[in-house]
Amino acid sequence: MSGSKGDKHSVQLDKAGIGIEDGIPLNVSVGGIDELRADIQRLMDIEAIKQLKHAYFRCIDTANFGELERLLHDDVTVDFVGGNYEWKLTGKDEYVASVRSAFTREAVGHHNGHHPEIQILSESEATGIWYLADDMWIMTHKFHTKGTAIYWDRYEKANGTWKIRETHYRRLYEISGLLDENPQFSSHHLRKHGTEV
């Protein structure tokens, strides 16, 4: 394991290590109606950001590239490090193209983001920590990857819509390797709806 990319980049995954600071506290204002209005908007922003990331995971695993594109900031930056890969890129077009090439008719992806910890920094900036659990088969290579990771993101709101501006993860664990045989899937959505190989 000593030579894996994941180890080379191993940082302590605490808030200091990943650069996440406290946002506006979850304390209601003692002020009047305009302060309460801002408090309600902050709760709505937290909900909107959760839905944004939830849609992201739904879109990748269903190969819904049209909706995926609308979730990403034009200048989104991606920094994911797994045991045997680094996935680093800049820009919405490059990100969607990369997802498109991975989620083919010969792939099965299962990506769930748990445990949202959303911090609102201002009316238009927020951060989030998530706990990824994922499972993916690339059947053209009989390759299976399974594991978990800590995600940390930045979100920006423009024209009333929150988008993913920056996204990172590092693995907690990963098991990956070649299979003797691909699984026999009794359902496989991407078989019809994934990118043509």
What part of residues 150-169 is at the interface with its own copies (CB under 8 A)? 150, 160
Can you tell me which of 20, 55, 102, 121 binds its own copies, judged by CB under 8 A? 55
CB-based contacts of 129, cutoff 8 Å, min separation 6: 15, 18, 20, 115, 116, 117, 150, 151, 152, 153
Can you tell me which of 96, 106, 147, 168 binds its own copies, judged by CB under 8 A? 147
Report in angstroms the alpha-carbon separations of 39 from 44, 51, 120, 162, 195. 9, 19, 11, 17, 43
Q: How many C-beta neighbours within 10 Å does residue 116 have?
A: 16
Residues 7-26 that bind its own copies (CB under 8 A): 7, 10, 12-15, 25-26
58 binding its own copies? (CB under 8 A): yes
Q: Any idea which residue has 């406290």 for tokens?
A: 22
Residues 171-190 that bind its own copies (CB under 8 A): 171-177, 183-190
CA 126 distance to own-chain centroid: 15
CB 103 within 8 A of CB 112: no
Nearer to its own copies, 36 or 90 (CB): 36
43 binding its own copies? (CB under 8 A): yes
Can you tell me which of 89, 102, 129, 138 binds its own copies, judged by CB under 8 A? 129
Residues 99-128 that bind its own copies (CB under 8 A): 108-110, 112-118
